[in-house]
């Protein structure tokens, strides 16, 4: 049996960053937080569609969910936990941690945890920073997470990127000195640089065969599980277009939305998936 066939027996982490199209960082210069209450949410219906899709392919996932979404779509939260998926925090209002003071970060993360726990009736142990917004300027976020009782974070992406990333940070699961487990977004090494292969825009941009080849390379080169992320709005072809955003932001957001669901189906067929908590063996207590 060759190495790639052996990889089919491994289980990897499927994750969803549960936010709406108008929450994304790419549009925060043209859509203000105060505008959100006047926009019809689409994240509820899109997340229900994803859960249906996961059920069809026997996939369990971790849903890193905004507190804002939980307040506006409590039925989604209840379905996530009722159907055996993991519920985790994505902050409250998708504000990047790098744009807030320490006190504001604490309030944002605590509020999200409180909302999610109240609606779901279960403890929240996982966190993902909006837009991977933990870097060398705000490592205190890990202290806040430990203080608030989180067990793990998946908030770092060790690549060069114009919006996020710390290339020289660890590539694999590790225990931070603050006492919390960090699980970075996966990368492969090419020409002495880390290249992102974790999902999102990269997955929509590249043809599926290339994404699969890159994932297979990661699995051949490493014993660590692979983890994949994407957003409910990425399967929403009919979402409203934000015309005032920059060309670059619109390109990143809208490219290949029409093929994303088909690619996800292929991904679920080619690999085995479960939640972050189960794949990485993270205990509630």
- The pLDDT of residue 161 is 64
- φ/ψ (deg, to 5) at 94: 55, 30
Q: Is the pLDDT of residue 5 over 60?
A: no
Mean pLDDT of 121-125: 97
Q: Which residues of 222-255 are buried (b: 16+ CB within 10 A; e: fewer)?
A: eebbbbbbbbbbbbbeebeebeebeeebbebbbe
Mean pLDDT of 108-135: 97
Residue 75, CA atoms < 13 Å, CB-side half-sphere:
6
In whole angstroms, give the CA distance from residue 231 to residue 183. 18
pLDDT in tens, 178-222: 999 999 999 998 888 888 899 988 899 999 999 999 999 999 999
Question: In the chain, how many H helices and how many E strands?
Answer: 11, 11
Detail the DSSP E strand segments found in the chain: 11-18, 62-65, 86-89, 126-127, 152-153, 174-175, 181-182, 187-190, 193-196, 227-230, 272-274
Q: Which residue has the higher pLDDT, 164 or 256?
A: 256
CA distances from 158 to 72, 190, 195 (A): 33, 13, 9
Q: Is the pLDDT of residue 14 over 90?
A: yes
pLDDT in tens, 22-80: 999 889 889 999 999 999 999 999 999 999 999 999 999 999 999 999 999 999 999 99
Q: Is the pLDDT of residue 152 over 90?
A: yes
In the structure, what pLDDT confidence band is assigned to residue 162 with cuts at 50, 70 and 90?
A: low
- The pLDDT of residue 66 is 98
**Residue 145 is encoded by which pair of tokens?**
């997470």
- The pLDDT of residue 80 is 98
Give the whole-number percent of the chain exceeding pLDDT 70: 95
**Residue 202 is encoded by which pair of tokens?**
């990269």
pLDDT in tens, 210-246: 999 999 999 999 999 999 999 999 999 999 999 898 9
In whole angstroms, give the CA distance from residue 45 to residue 236. 10
Q: What rounded mean pLDDT belongs to the chain?
A: 93
Q: How far apart are the first and last CA of the chain?
A: 39
* Residue 35 DSSP one-character state: G
Handedness of CA 164, 234, 93, 242 (dihedral sign): positive
Task: Name the pairing type of β-strands 187-190 and 193-196.
Answer: antiparallel
Q: Is the pLDDT of residue 280 over 90?
A: yes
Task: Name the pairing type of β-strands 227-230 and 187-190.
Answer: unpaired
Domains of the chain, first to last: 11-279 (3.20.20.370)
């Amino acid at each position: 049996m060759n190495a790639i066939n052996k990889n089919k027996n491994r289980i990897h982490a499927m994750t969803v960053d549960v936010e709406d199209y108008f929450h994304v960082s790419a549009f925060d210069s043209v859509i203000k937080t105060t505008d959100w209450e006047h926009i019809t949410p689409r994240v509820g219906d899109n997340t229900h569609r994803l859960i249906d899709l996961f059920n069809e392919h026997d996939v369990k996932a971790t849903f890193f969910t905004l507190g804002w979404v939980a307040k506006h779509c409590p039925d989604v939260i209840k379905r996530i936990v009722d159907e055996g998926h993991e519920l985790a925090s994505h902050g409250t209002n998708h504000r990047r941690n790098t744009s807030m003071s320490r006190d504001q970060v604490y309030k944002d993360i605590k509020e999200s945890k409180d909302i999610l726990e109240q609606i779901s009736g279960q403890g929240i142990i996982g966190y993902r920073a909006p837009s991977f917004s933990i870097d060398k300027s705000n490592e205190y976020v890990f202290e806040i997470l430990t203080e608030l009782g989180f067990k793990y974070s998946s908030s770092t992406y060790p690549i060069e990127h114009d919006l996020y990333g710390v290339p020289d940070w660890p590539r694999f699961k590790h225990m931070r000195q603050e006492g919390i487990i960090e699980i970075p977004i996966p990368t492969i090494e090419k020409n002495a640089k880390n290249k992102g292969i974790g999902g999102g825009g990269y997955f929509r941009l590249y043809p599926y065969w290339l994404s699969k080849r890159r994932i297979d390379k990661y699995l051949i080169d490493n014993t660590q599980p692979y983890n994949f992320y994407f957003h409910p709005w990425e399967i929403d072809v009919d979402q409203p277009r934000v015309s005032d955003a920059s060309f670059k932001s619109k390109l990143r957001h809208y490219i290949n939305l029409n093929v994303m669901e088909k690619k996800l189906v292929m991904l679920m067929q080619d690999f085995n998936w479960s939640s972050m908590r189960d794949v990485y063996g993270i205990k509630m207590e």
